[in-house]
Each structure stands twice: as C-alpha cells, then as structure tokens.
Chain A
Amino acid sequence: MEFLRPATWQEALAAKAEHPTAVPIAGGTDVMVEINFDHRRPDHLLDLNRIAELEEWETGEDTVRLGASVPYSRIMAGLRTELPGLALASHTVASPQIRNRGGVGGNLGTASPAGDAHPALLAGGGAVEAESVRGSRLIPIDDFYTGVKRNALAPDELIRAVHLKKATGPQQFSKVGTRNAMVIAVCAFGIALHPDTRTVRTGIGSAAPTPIRAKAAEEFLAAAMDEAGLWDSGKPVPPAVAKQFADLVSGAANPIDDVRGTATYRRHALGVMARRTLGWTWQQYRDHQGSKSCA
C-alpha cells in the first residue's frame, strides 16, 4: 500500500487523477476501521490531512461553505446558529475522540445510510462541491446518494466542501439508538423549517438503502400550513396535521429488519420523531415570531 501525502489541494487532485482507485483519508474514522478489518485493501491511500483549507469554513450571505474535513466538534461549537440541524447531528456522532477527527466529507464519502450528517444535510438543503483536475461542480445533496454506500462522485473527484444554506428557521435532529450515546443510528430524522420559502424539508437516516427525504410528507405539510395560514398566524400545528405528517414520514421509509432493529420499529420511531421534531421546531418558530412582534 502506498501512502500519498499531497501538500496542496492541486497536488491532491493530481494524485487522484493519476490514481483513481486511491482511497482518500481525512479523519480516518471510517477508512481505518475498514483497513483494520481487512474489508478494504487499497493500493493507495490519499492523505488529505496536510491540506489546511479543507478544515476551514467560509460564511457568505446565504450559505456556509463547509470544508470537507472540518471535524464534528468544531461544527458543534462554531456553527450552531448557521447550521443548527447539522450541529445537533454532529453532537450525536460517536464520542468526543471520533468527533475531533471525523467530519462531513468523510460521512459523505462513506455515504452510509446510517451516517448522521445526511438527514441534516437533506433537511437543510445544499450541494456538494466536487472537484477534479477536470474542474469543479456542485452536486445537489438530493442527487448525491446513489445507492447503499455509493455516491455521485466520479473516480477522479474529491469533495472540496459542502455548500449549505444558512438556516432561515428552526431545525432539529433526532436519532434513535439502543444506547444513550456513542451508537450507530437505528433510524434518524432531520427537519428544517424554511420560512423564507414557506417550505419544510426533511431527511431520514438508516431506514432505506440511502438517506432520503420524505417528500410527500414535506409537500403535505407545506400545503396544510399554507391553507391554514400558519406561517403568518403562528398558531399551533393542528394535531391531525402533525399526525398525518408523521404517518407520511413513516411511509416514506423503506427499512429492513437487522441486528439493530426491526423494520416495523423503524417506521414507528420515525413517525414519533417526525411528530416531536415538528412540534419543537414549530414552537421555536412561534417563540421567535412572538419575540419579533413584541420588539
């Protein structure tokens, strides 16, 4: 196994072009596990740890350009306001040690249905900035996950950053595991209210071959809220609407029975999380509205 250590981003892209089967390694919290268990025996490892810009983020007018290797612990601490859903999701990943190493680029690289960043990314909305010597492109997050542990990257591409819409409304993230910390999701749910567009976006983890959105649930909720004028009135979401939303989220999932949980339980839990997180975000939205009108 050869260990490539590019000093710059350009060198990294060149190396990836020359060795398309090279496996990039950022925090290594997925890669090293696979190597230790001999699930993977790459010819080349491409170490991204010398490339400083991957560990930085830039905050623009409407978006955050999050470097691929920014570790979860820094997202939790530094991006709570701009990316509340992702910050919450980051806090549920593994343990402090892993959160100091692992980041969103690696989560996207692995593209496991159980990756915790995905539901938050899907709900918040954004795009993956993929780059190769051929140039750079933005892959909308909705198009990024292509199969079980597969993504839309071309063999010569690396993830430079993720472009994420800055939150315009409350966001939440919930994950069920059979332990109260340091656990792979049995299933997970992310929700983001987008008052600017009067839409709601969602993300479901560990309950389908890839991370997915519950589109029917989103559309139903947006329509129901519009119809009832809730965005303006800030009135509570009627329980029947919340229930229907929850049922549609359950229905969107396509889970399996495995050693971590049953398909039936996953559907059930997603519904509960959908109802609760909708309640929390909506309460946050109302509190915010209330404080605006008082001021």
Chain B
Amino acid sequence: MGITRTPTSLTQSSATRGGIGESTLRPDGTLKVTGEFAYSSDLWHEDMLWGYTLRSTVAHAAIVSIDTSEALATSGVYAVLTYDDLPTEVKHYGLEIRDTPVLAHGKVRHHGEPVALVAADHPETARRAAAKIRVEYDALPVITDEASATAPDAVLVHEGRDDHHIGHVPHPNIVHRQPIVRGDADRAAERADVVVSGEYVFGMQDQAFLGPESGLAVPAEDGGVDLYVATQWLHSDLRQIAPVLGLPERKVRMTLSGVGGAFGGREDLSMQIHGCLLALRTGKPVKIVYNRFESFFGHVHRHPARLWYEHGATRNGKLTHVRCRIVLDGGAYASASPAVVGNAASLSIGPYVVEDVDIEALALYTNNPPCGAMRGFGAVQACFAYEAQMDKVAAELGMDPVEFRQVNAMEQGTVMPTGQTVDSPAPVAELLRRVKSRPLPPERQWETTEGADVRALPGGLSNTTHGEGVVRGVGYAVGIKNVGFSEGFDDYSTARVRMQVINGEPVATVHTAMAEVGQGGVTVHAQIARSELGVTQVTIQPADTQVGSAGSTSASRQTYMTGGAVKNTCEAVREKVLDLGRRRFGSYHPAWATAELLLEGGKVVTDGGEALADIADVLEDDVVDLELEFRHRPTQAFDLRTGQGNGHVQYSFAAHRAVVEVDTELGLVKVVELACAQDVGKALNPLSVVGQIQGGTTQGLGVAVMEEIVVDPKTALVRNPSFTDYLIPTILDTPTIPVDVLELADEHAPYGLRGIGEAPTLSSTPAVLAAIRQATGLELNRTPVRPEHLTGS
C-alpha cells in the first residue's frame, strides 16, 4: 500500500513464567529507548499530502468573512476547506455534548480554534497557503471567569443549547452543576469548636505529552477511509468522526499508531476529522502533524479552578462538617466537563469521614482554552484545596496534621457524601503512617566535603544559593480517586484471544482496541495471557477498530477493564481448550473429569500439579478464537439535587510526604524527596506500578511549582504556548521518590487489582504545597507557586 511506519504486532517470549505479579519488561521498551519505535508522527505514505490547520488569532469574535481564494491559487495546494465545505448535516462533535464545530461557523470561541484546513504537497506550502487565507473578525466581549460568565447581561458562549444539562443549570454559561447534600451541615456546624475557611486557586495545567497530535488518513477504494492516529479511545473517536464524514462506521477503519503520551489530552479529537476530510476531498493520503506550539491549542487542558471550603471540627479533632463550592473553568467547549464536575463534587471532601456536607461543583463555559480530561480528572483540584484545609484545621486545633487526618480517615465501610458505601479496603490511615515513618533525608543534604552541591539546592546549577536563605519544610497529603467510568455509564472492554499451535508450540494472540499510551497495557496483557493460558509466547496485535471497543485509556481503568477483558476471554478460551482435551484425552485419565484443571508451562495440569497433556497435543490443528466483552459492576447517576447515588466503581488511594528546601529570599524551591504510599490491590507488574506512581507524583510536583498555561485575563489569549515558557520538571527537579506499595485485594476487581495511574497525581501537589507552607509560614492558596508568591514581590 506504500504506507510505512504503521504499527506492527509485538511478539514477546518469556524465559520465566512471565505471568502476573512479575516485572516482565515492556515488549515495546527496547524499540522506544533505541529510537526505533514508530510514533504517529513517523507515519508515511509515498504520495501523501500534508494538512495544516488555520486557527483563530482571537478568543471571541464573529467571523465576518473568510477569503480562501489566494490560498487556493497557491501552487502545490490541493484543497482549502472551511465550514461551508463540510459534507453532511453533522458539523459538530464532542465527547458527551456535540458542541464543538469541526471548523468554526459564524464565530470563534477561543484562541486557536480551527477555522480552515489546507492540504498541499509540502508542509511548508500548506502553512504558507494558510497564512494567505484572510479571515475578518468582529470582536465580541471576552468571557473569562465566573463573574463575566454569569452576569445577567453576559454574552452566551453557546446560544440555543439543547443538551441534557441545560434544564438544571442556573445559567446557560454553566455546562453542568452538581450539588451534593448529605446530613445537615448547618446543624453540624453548631457542634464545631473550630471553623476554618479558605479560597483556593488552581492554575491551568497541560498534559505536555511529548508526541504531538498526528495521524495519517488514507482514502480507500470503497469510498471509506483508513485512519492511523495516536489517540486514547479509538471507538469514541470513530463514533464522532463517521457522522461528520457521512460514512457508516465500518467504512472508517482506525488503527492506533505509536502514542507519545496522553494523560487525558487525547480523549478529545484533534486532527482526526480534519485529516479524513482532506483525504476524502483530494483522494490522496493526508498526514497532519502539529508542532509543539500548535499542540498547546490542539488539545484540552486541566480545568483551572476556584474553590471555597469551610471545615469544622470538634476540639478532639473530629470533623463536624464540610461546605464547599468548586468552580471549574471548562473553556469554550464542553469536552469532559460534565464528568469532571461529577468527580470534583463526589470526591470533594477527600478520603475522610464527614456525615454532614453541603457541596456544589460546576463548570463554566468561557472563552478560555477548552479544558477536559487530565490525569486526576476533577479530583486533583479538590485534593489541593481540601488538603490545605486539613492542615489549617489541624493547626487551629494544635494537632499534628497526620494524626488529624488519621483520626478522620475513611476505611472500608465508610459512607461517601453520595451515600455510596466504600466496600473494599481503604487503608488511608495506614498509607499516611507509612510515609510518615520513613526516615527523613539528612538536614543540609547539599553539603559535601567539597562544599555545597548546588544540584541539591533550590536553583540547582543556576547557582543562586550555597545554603543562604534555605529553609526545609515537610508536608503531607492523601487523596481519593475513582477508578473507571462512573455515573451510570455503560463502561466495558472487549478482548479477542486466539490460541493455536505454531511450530509445535502453543501461542496466544491478544487483540484489543486498547490504546497503549505508555501505561504498559501491552505488557500486562501478555502477562495475563501467560498466566491464564500457560503459554510463554504471546503476540499483541495492533489496536484497531476491527475488534470491539476497549473503552478509554483513562480513569485509571485499562488494567482493570481491558486487562479484565483479556482475563475473561482467556478463561473462556481455556475452557474451550480443556473441552478439546477432555474430548481427545478424557478417557486416558480420570482427572480430566474430576479435577480442577489449569494451563501451565505449556501443559494441562491438575490443581494438584499433575501434568495431563501438552497443550500442543490438545490443540493439534484447532484454533480457539473468542471475542468477548467485559463489564464492571453497574453504577448509578448522581441525583441532580442531592448528589446521592452509587456513582463510582472503585476508589484508589495514595499518600505523599514531601520534603522541600525553600530559598526563602529568592522564592525558589527544591523538592528533595517525595515519598509515596499507595494501595494497588494487586501489582500485576510491580515495576510498572512503581513507574506509574513516580510519573504521577512528578506530574503533581510540576503543577505545584512550575506548570501553568498562562491566559491573559483581558484577551483570553494564551501567553506561553511553548516548552520555553511552559515548564515541566527536568530530572534535576525530580526528587527521589521512594514508593511503598500495599496490595489489599478488592474482591470485586480482576485479580483484586486497583487502578493506580491517577491517585499519585492527586496528593503530590498538596504535599509539596504543605511543605512549602511549613518552610515559609505563608498561606499559599494558589498553585503553581511562583517565586514572587514566596518573596512577596
């Protein structure tokens, strides 16, 4: 077909058993570290065109006119498309609410919104032609915060809303609002000996994945299109793409290409529809790759938030009540905002027992950049605020902050503010105990016999201090995150597993649509197949839409869900293999009929360990091939007035202790150690578990001390769309991260496992903030902390 650098199967043998619980290596690991791995930006087709997206230079404006004639006349240009060229009546897409125009229609609602598309024979030609498109804008007032969004005369970001939230929101510039009321906070407040309140601000974080948005759309002979793309959920993309193209879903064949990180930022569409439109229009393959600058506009970010909290407690340290209000800025389009609101509300008080609560969370429509899914999904912002509050209350009571948390810590059996009973282990107090009992890094750890090691000091190699002004602080935090899709969503994963004999050896092939975004799904799928089917060699097929949906690689759900689906299908395949065995060999040994049989080490064995037959002999030329769906237990929607409902599948907990050195004169911070303890239920791959925890911890550190997309409050323009000024931690900013893994099984989950990817991102940020507060004595109600916040200048 002339396409190169498309995904291929990953086949991995294992010298050891290579099953679950072992730290087997990633099948794609060597390719990635040697630079051989094909990312979606490496895709190539011999006669392909390059697509380019013209984006708005203003945040809110009516489009008076678009003149594409000069661009179209440029030599090398094959197509220029605007809203008027969209082929069907479906011109919008969206994860839950279809409010996002494929190309701007009539107005633009945020900086960087796609307005027109160009396809040309060279990326530079496409870019230059796009620069010749003349768009005339007529500025509209810019909505940037709650006050401007909900003012009585506020311009509506979306007129004529007809989505299913419009009926219950207090203003059309509010996407969704979720109150949770339980007990009687007013009466409980009367019992409080101390009441502490605070207002908190959480900045806009970017996923900052390293592989920019990219993909290749190839028109097919049947009038359909083959799309190779880096995404998080193939089938969700498909559902949104096909109607815009006017094609049945079976004619849009999607294949996952190499994904360079996601963190939620690929849950929404980027170039998918655009690439397909250009390919179908020109009849040629079209590749689109964003550069870093464009990537900052090409995906949604983490919701910035304003949070108000009031906590009450009795003198002996028992929380009486919590009141809170969480306002998330969803930006111009809904994206995942409704679900983020549900999470923020239901997890807003943290992993504590509080019977009387009054909670409200909402997301705004504004002209700021659209915000949606990012690791931690609404729970991150809340954790930052409630953990700051917990420290404040402890200080007010004169109690140790860890002890205060432990006194109020939830456990198995605790009832959430939503009325849901936590029915699996919730070792919150124990996680805190573990991080607290670790020895602290030595005082003045930067001192060496040759003087100060600046790398261990705030400022690092920038050589700003040799110890002057440096004060240590230690802080703690713990968080609670849900696992899987909540609020009644029909969340399922599909796995197809084939077993056959190749060259005399039984081999398993696993085919799912799971997006491997770096989390290690391909590693655990192979491990699960080995454990369940007793093989050593497993082939993981590329993820595509030829197999049923695997759901999203998000919500900490993939090992639970698609891992669970692989397990589930493997068990069914095993039964078929055993049936074959019973038919072929049943008469030779009574155990075939009476014993519990397993597949292990290439053989059928009894639970007593006796080998009955080689799997290869059982299978002979037969191929066992099954595709099955797997669901977690159903959840319920939250009541729109009271927030009551069994909304979540599973909860996940992590605690951190941060040790920081702060240069109090310059306001620079060095995080020295960020210890984590997390319950993972069962570590399917202990090495990957530690990797996830360290990665999540570091992402949390980033938004504590540096990561923020700065949006001009007057113009809603993004001021730092580059890695020069959007800073993410380097290795010199990343502390040692000792990890303590607990494995308390959740009996409802496959292997007892607990989704782990997000919880460490929650508590890391407030732990660092708490440590900086301890070092400086400052209140610090905003994250990220900038030097000027610490120096008062």
Binding site for B on A (CB under 8 A): 36-38, 88, 91-92, 95, 172-184, 186, 259-262, 264-265, 267-269, 272-273, 276, 279-280
- Is the pair B464, A36 in contact by a Cβ cutoff of 8 Å? no
Q: Which residues of the other chain, A, contact B705 by a CB distance below 8 angstroms?
A: 178
Contact pick for B730, options A172, A179, A262, A276, CB 8 Å = A179
Contact between chains at B670 and A265 (CB < 8 Å)? no
Decide yes or no: A180 and B732 within 8 Å by CB, A92-B461, A261-B788 being known contacts: yes
29 pairs from A and B in contact (CB 8 Å cutoff): A91-B461, A92-B462, A174-B462, A174-B463, A175-B459, A175-B463, A175-B464, A176-B462, A176-B666, A177-B462, A179-B730, A180-B458, A180-B461, A180-B462, A180-B668, A180-B670, A181-B460, A182-B732, A259-B710, A259-B720, A259-B725, A262-B788, A265-B667, A265-B788, A265-B793, A267-B793, A273-B464, A273-B666, A280-B466
B293 CB-CB contact with A under 8 Å: yes
* Complex contacts, A264 vs chain B, CB 8 Å: 788, 793
Q: In chain A, what residue has the closest Cβ to B468?
A: A276
| Cα–Cα, bound, A30→B710 (Å) | 24
B793 touches A180 (CB 8 A): no
Q: Please report the C-alpha to C-alpha distance between residue A280 and residue B463 in the assembled complex, in whole angstroms.
A: 11
Q: Decide yes or no whether B253 CB sits under 8 A from chain A.
A: no
Q: Are A276 and B465 in contact (CB under 8 A)?
A: yes
Q: Are B793 and A37 in contact (CB under 8 A)?
A: no
Q: Are B459 and A176 in contact (CB under 8 A)?
A: yes
CA distance A38 to B787 in the complex (A): 32
Residues in B whose Cβ lies below 8 Å from that of A276: 464-466, 468
Which residue of A37, A181, A265, A280 is within 8 Å of B732 (Cβ)?
A: A181
B786 interface residue per 8 A CB criterion: yes
When distances are taken between beta carbons in the complex, the residues of chain B under 8 Å from A267 are: 793
Asked whether B724 lies within 8 Å of A175 as measured between CB atoms, the reply is no
The main secondary structure of chain A at its interface with chain B is mixed
Query: When the two chains form the complex, which single residue of B455, B463, B668 contacts A172, counting CB atoms closer than 8 Å?
Result: B463
The reply to whether the CB of B4 lies closer than 8 angstroms to some CB of chain A is no
A291 CB, nearest partner CB in chain B, Å: 16
Instruction: Tell me whether B733 and A179 are in contact (CB under 8 A).
Output: yes
B725 smallest CB distance to A (angstroms):
5
Residues of B near A183 (CB, < 8 A) are 462, 727
Select B733's contact among A88, A180, A272, beta carbons within 8 Å: A180
Chain B 490-519 interface mask (CB, 8 Å, partner A; 1/0): 000000000000000000000000000000
Alpha-carbon distance between A212 and B469 when the two chains are bound, in angstroms: 27
Q: How far is it, in angstroms, between the C-alpha of A272 and the C-alpha of B710 when the chains are bound?
A: 27
State the interface size on chain B (CB cutoff 8 A): 38
What residues on B are CB-neighbors of A177 within 8 Å? 459, 462
**A184–B462 CA distance with the chains assembled, in angstroms:** 10
Instruction: Point out the residues of chain A lying under 8 angstroms from B732, CB to CB.
Output: 180-182
In this assembly, does B22 line the interface, its C-beta being within 8 Å of a C-beta of chain A?
A: no
Q: Chain B residues near A175 (CB, 8 Å)?
A: 459, 462-464
Cβ–Cβ < 8 Å partners of B466 in chain A? 276, 280
* Residue pair A180, B666 in contact (C-beta under 8 Å): no
Q: Are B733 and A181 in contact (CB under 8 A)?
A: yes
Cα distance A91–B461 when bound, in Å? Answer: 7
* B412 interface residue (CB < 8 Å to A): no
Whether the pair B463, A173 counts as a contact (CB closer than 8 A) is yes
Contacts of B670 in A (CB 8 A): 180
- Residues of A contacting B293 with CB < 8 Å? 37
Chain A residue with Cβ nearest B720: A259
B570 at the interface (CB under 8 A from A): no
Is the pair A92, B733 in contact by a Cβ cutoff of 8 Å? no
State which of B127, B464, B465, B788 has its C-beta within 8 Å of the C-beta of A38.
Answer: B127
A-B contact sample (12 more), CB < 8 A, given A91-B461, A176-B666, A181-B731: A88-B463, A95-B730, A175-B459, A176-B464, A176-B668, A178-B727, A179-B727, A180-B670, A183-B727, A259-B719, A264-B793, A269-B667
Report the bound CA distance from A12 to B138 in whole Å.
Answer: 50
Complex CA gap A260/B708 in Å reads 11
**CA distance in complex: A261, B789 (Å):** 11
Min Cβ gap A246→B in Å is 11
In the complex with contacts A183-B727, A272-B665, A265-B464 CB distance below 8 A: no
**B661-681 contact mask (Cβ, 8 Å, vs A): 1 or 0:** 000011110100000000000
- Complex Cα–Cα for A37 and B721 (A): 12
Contacts A177-B462, A178-B786 given: A265-B791 contact, CB under 8 Å? yes
